[in-house]
Structure 1
Amino acid sequence: MYENQTYSAILQRMLERVPGDVDKREGSIIYDALAPAAAELAEVYSQLDVQLDLTFADTSSGEFLRRRALDYGVKWQEATRASRLGLFFDANNAPMAVQLGARFSLRDRNYKVKTQLSPGRYVLECETAGTAGNSDFGALLPIDYINGLARAELADVLIPGEDDETDDSLRARLLTQVQSPGTSGNKADYVKWALSVAGVGGVQVEPLWDGPGTVRVVLIDSEKLPASVQLVDSVQNFISPELGMGEGVAPIGAEVTVAPAEGVALRVTAKLVLDGSKPLGTVKEHFTRVMTDYLRSIAFTVDPSPKYVRIGSLLLDTPGVIDFTNLLVNGNATNVAIASSQVAVLNEVSLHE
């Protein structure tokens, strides 16, 4: 808005106000007197332009966007810690009990035992907030000695950890709140309620799914995979711990059932022609990564079905690949149909020369 208010433009306007019989050349007294003021005014206009952008949600960022969102009850989400499945065994390979609060380490991160699920199976919480806690798997080392413990393993991601919310994510939630406001338990309300629980990455709401007064809320986690039992329980307890009783945020009379999305396993096979710059293992690793990212990008969207042509494009764009033949997805050279309550999950990649 103030992009034309440059130092030169401001100084020229100021000099034009000086009578013509006064020396206004560069280096003159009046020129040297006005130049510093023109420079300061140009800086003020520049800051005004920045402040104007920070006023509106579509151009705001950082702290200012968070404060703007709070005006509408949308709170910025800080990083959360991952909840993981821990498995513990004694010398006879039998499940064994460990003390709540016991700490274990794996690579650069530590994990604390929070609750017991069943004999030898516990919920562990990563002490490092963010998505870093989702990536490690394998043998755990006890930080303090535990008598009788022979083996400890870090297994499934129960509730994924999330990094600090990005400006784009917060802006999207804010615009959803403003443009599609919740009103007394409509679909927008259920989406908002579910997404407010840490670890939820997508929501589908099915009204009247089992008759009048029933609502089904289908979830994927922040990794775009079917939600775990623990995540489903967290959302269920927040929205409606007792069906129809209004004990959660859902209105009285609404029988709310929270469920995980159904995972549809994908198996991708193809014969490759390589250029020799990359070994087959590296090609497979790269393709697996971009394929996983593609499936995440379409999960719970308007069209969640993986496209055969798109998969072929990803394979052809993989470094080291010249061409391919016999590309099959779940045994067919067609798109894979995914329903609204389902999510595609890459199960196997089989590439060969």
Structure 2
Amino acid sequence: MQNSGFSRPTLPQLIDTIRGDLLTRFNEDSVLRRLDAEVYARVQAAAIHTLYGYIDYLARNILPDLADENWLTRHGNIKRCPRKGATKASGFVRWEGVQNAISLPADTEIHRDDGQIYTTTVPTTSAQGVLRVPVVAKSSSQAGNCEDGIALRLATPISGLSSTGYADSIRTGTDIEDLDSWRQRIMARWYDTPQGGADSDYVRWAKEVLGISRAWTHRHKNGIGTVGVMVASDDVDHPAPTQEILTKVREHILPLAPVAGSGLTVFAVTEKSVPLSLALSTDTSEIRAAVIGEIKAFLQREGEPGSKLFLSRLTEAISLAAGEVAHRLIAPTGDIELAQTEVPVLGEVTWAKYKE
């Protein structure tokens, strides 16, 4: 059974054990196919084997580290650590060079080429040649996030306005919390007992807010007795949360923080761009995409504020990319230092020609 040191008997072992016990009690020394002891042994062994299976199932789920999803929900509810749901991406769609006084009503649908749908939230009128309309994604998921400059098209034509606008800061969309991340938050409640304002309390409170996956406490941020909470999302390209999310984090923490605290500051991490110059021996678009994915995962995994990103570790991450055979990392040329408020994000990647 799970981590208990107990070895669960197999069904044949149970049959042999029960059969032996019965034959001993009946003073029998021969095993016949239709002997009553043989029948009893098989029936009882099957029942006991089922019970062992259920006990094994309970042993796996009784603690959150190995629990199934349904049991993890129970553990989370007991520890007041519910799973964070998906959120909708929001931002703006922008038109430039348009006539003034062109209006776009609320609830207007705007489509992305891959089928993602956005809806305008308030009526907006163009001014000074610009129409910048607030929108929200129709579905809740990270897929609603959109890079700036991506073309978005009106579902219904508007007189005097081009059907194509462009994404402007459409972010904040998140998927339902990953099962392992949720499991780690629940386990943190076991390890870090609430202490009425310890560093770990502020980290836990901040991570309870939708859109926040990482947090750090800065003691005496604005003087003795004040607390600074630095937060980041799990977006590898834009880990710094919006002001709206920062406000939600502060409003969530304030009722939980000690009354004696003289000040609480919630602020976003500073994004440190890390540009790369790289040459691949086998250079295809698929391998490039795999390399970029591994680099981003490395930066998010090891880019703790105040830490150092070792060049050897970055090279190792590139080598993990599917299809990569050999490469030369031209830049950066040394380890990357991160300040106490910085997390790394991948900057511009320049692809060079590989030379032996």
- Give the TM bin, normalised by the shorter chain: 0.7 to 0.9
* One-letter amino acid of the structure 2 residue matched with residue 211 of structure 1: G
Q: Distance in 1 between matches of 2:223 and 2:43?
A: 74
**Structure-1 residue corresponding to 2:269:** 261
**Counterpart position of 1:239:** 253
Relative to structure 1, the CA distance from residue 31 to residue 271 in structure 2 (aligned partners, 3 Å threshold; closer, same or farther) is: closer
Q: CA deviation at 1:201?
A: 2.2
Q: Which residue of 1 aligns with 2:86?
A: 79
Q: Is the 8 A contact 1:215 1:255 kept in 2?
A: yes
Contact kept? 1:130, 1:162, Cα under 8 Å: yes
Q: After superposition, give the CA deviation of every residue in 1:224-279 in whole Å (9 maximum; x if it has no partner).
A: 42222332233233334xxxxxxx4434343112211111111111344x24xx43
Q: How many angstroms apart in 1 are the aligned matches of 2:147 and 2:296?
A: 18
**What is the CA distance between 1:173 and its match in structure 2?**
0.7
SS in structure 2 of the partner of residue 24 of structure 1: coil
CA distance in 2, matches of 1:176, 1:117: 45
Choose which of 3, 9, 14 in structure 2 pairs with 1:10. Answer: 14
1:50 to partner: Cα distance: 0.8
Do 1:114 and 1:125's aligned partners in 2 also have CA atoms closer than 8 Å?
yes
Contact 2:278/2:352 (8 A) holds in 1: yes
Q: 1:12 to 1:235 in 2, by over 3 A?
A: same
Per the alignment, do residues 182 and 17 of structure 1 end up closer, same or farther by CA in structure 2, a change over 3 Å counting? Answer: same
The answer as to 2:50 corresponding to 1:47 is no
Corresponding residue to 1:296 among 295, 300, 310: 300
Q: Is the 8 A contact 2:61 2:67 kept in 1?
A: yes
Q: Structure 1 residues 88, 270: CA separation in 2 closer, same or farther (over 3 Å shift)?
A: closer
Counterpart in the other structure of 1:62: 69
**Aligned residues, how many?**
336
Return the offset for 1:147. Answer: 4.3
> For each residue in 1:151-181, what CA deviation from the matched residue of structure 2 results, as whole angstroms up to 9, or x when unmatched?
422232432x222223321221112122113
| Equivalent residue number for residue 228 of structure 1 | 242
Closer, same or farther in 2 for the Cα pair 1:34/1:283, shift >3 Å?
closer
Aligned to 1:156: 169
Match of 2:276, SS? strand
- What corresponds to 1:334 in structure 2? 334
Where does 1:137-286 land on structure 2 (aligned, <5 Å)? Answer: 138-150=150-162, 151-159=164-172, 161-224=173-236, 225-240=239-254, 248-252=255-259, 253-272=261-280, 274-275=281-282, 278-279=283-284, 281-286=285-290
Deviation at 1:349, TM superposition (A): 0.9
Checking the alignment, whether the CA contact within 8 Å between 2:147 and 2:169 is kept in structure 1 is: no
Contact 1:204 1:341 in 2 (8 A): no
Q: Equivalent residue for 1:245?
A: none
1:346 aligns with 2:346: yes
- CA displacement at 1:337 relative to structure 2: 0.3
Conserved? CA contact 2:145–2:171, under 8 Å: no
Percentage of identical aligned residues: 18
**Dislocated runs of 4+, deviation >6 Å:** 116-119
- What one-letter code is carried by the residue in structure 2 that aligns with 1:53? R
Task: Calculate the TM-score normalised by the size of structure 2.
Answer: 0.83
Shift of 1:55: 0.9
Distance across 1 between alignment mates of 2:341 and 2:9: 54
Deviation at 1:36?
2.7
RMSD of equivalent CA atoms: 2.8
- Aligned 8 A contact 1:236 1:257 in 2: yes
**Range moving further from structure 2, 333-342 or 166-175:** 166-175
Please state how far the C-alpha of 1:291 moved relative to its aligned partner. 0.8
CA distance in 1, matches of 2:225, 2:249: 19
Question: Does the CA-based 8 Å contact 1:299-1:344 persist in structure 2?
Answer: yes
Q: Larger deviation: 166-175 or 19-28? A: 19-28
Q: Could you tell me how far apart the structure 1 residues matched to 2:323 and 2:12 are?
A: 54
Give TM-score, length-normalised by structure 1. 0.84
